[in-house]
Amino acid sequence: MSQVTTKLMMLRQRLELAALAAKREPEDIQLLAVSKTFPAIAVEEAMHAGQTAFGENYAQEGVEKIQQLSKLRPWLEWHFIGPLQSNKTRDVAEHFDWVHSIDRLKIAERLSTQRGEFSNLGPLQVCVQINVSEEDSKSGISLEEVDALCDAISKLPHLALRGLMAIPAPSDDVSQQHQSFAAVRECFVGIKAKHSNDVGFDFFDTLSMGMSDDLEAAITEGSTMVRIGSAIFGKRDKIKA
Ligand SMILES: *Cc1c(COP(=O)(O)O)cnc(C)c1O
């Protein structure tokens, strides 16, 4: 059995235990395998072990991998999760199924327009990224601004607004992890309730939070999609990661 297969099986057990501990159904938490910095062959291994959703941080690297695996494209779902610059939106609109990292309306508008040029593709599924730790260096919009950005995005024709994403500052303090994720969940619940009659929010169902080191706290606080890299593929090259 390959390393990736073994790690994936161990991770699935860890996810199941976390869900049970949180009194949640394991199938309500989707696993996004973050394959950034790892070669296409690693994605293929994970796919043979039953994994179908993959996350990439860098547009160029992601597009290359998607093209290398083009024969498998119908079975795979590709999520863009990294910082997105204007000059990369076209690549992302053309090749990816999801974008988790939207924090500016301008980027969302470009993605919608460009997605619309591919009449064979359905809407791009998007999440708004929140800066929950309020660090200047991190991407994401502040908790106060997120509702207005979601509202504007919900009206764009070629995007489907799916929810919120967050990357809290890494912390070994478990109570701090819970606090950050709970803040994102409260924001998510508030927006969902406020827009319960708005059609643009019909698919607002995703809370993308939790990584290899904090997935238990994220699941306890309501995550519906965890983004896991190193626990599946191993340690990344420090320079690139
Ligand atoms: C790299 C990355 C992950 C995965 O991190 P691990 O700690 O390796 O699980 C998740 N989300 C984002 C946005 C990332 O950049």
Ligand 1: distance of its center to the CA of 196 in Å?
A: 31
**Is 229 within 8 Å of 36 (Cβ atoms)?**
yes
* Residue 238 is assigned to a structural domain of this protein: no
* Residue 240 is assigned to a structural domain of this protein: no
Q: What confidence category does residue 133 fall into, taking pLDDT thresholds of 50, 70 and 90?
A: confident
Question: Looking at residue 102, what is its pLDDT?
Answer: 98
* Residue 192 is assigned to a structural domain of this protein: yes
Is residue 57 lining ligand 1, measured as CB closer than 6 Å? yes
- Domain range enclosing 73: 3-233
Give alpha helix (H) positions in 117-145.
none
Question: Looking at residue 239, what is its pLDDT?
Answer: 56
* Residue 158 is assigned to a structural domain of this protein: yes
237: pLDDT strictly greater than 90: no
Q: What is the mean pLDDT of residues 171-176?
A: 93
DSSP state of 198: -
* Residue 179 is assigned to a structural domain of this protein: yes
pLDDT in tens, 95-113: 999 999 999 999 999 999 9
Question: Looking at residue 137, what is its pLDDT?
Answer: 58
240: pLDDT strictly greater than 60: no
Q: Bridge partners of 160?
A: 125
Is residue 230 lining ligand 1, measured as CB closer than 6 Å? yes
Q: How far is it, in rounded angstroms, from Cα 59 to Cα 50? A: 25
37: pLDDT strictly greater than 80: yes
**Is 180 within 8 Å of 132 (Cβ atoms)?**
yes
Burial of 121 (0-12, 13-18, 19+ CB in 10 A): middle
For residue 57, give the CATH number of its domain: 3.20.20.10
What total number of domains does the chain contain? 1
Is residue 46 lining ligand 1, measured as CB closer than 6 Å? no
Q: What confidence category does residue 2 fall into, taking pLDDT thresholds of 50, 70 and 90?
A: confident
* Residue 143 is assigned to a structural domain of this protein: yes
Is residue 227 lining ligand 1, measured as CB closer than 6 Å? yes
Ligand 1: distance of its center to the CA of 57 in Å?
A: 9
* Residue 241 is assigned to a structural domain of this protein: no
62: pLDDT strictly greater than 80: yes
* Residue 202 is assigned to a structural domain of this protein: yes
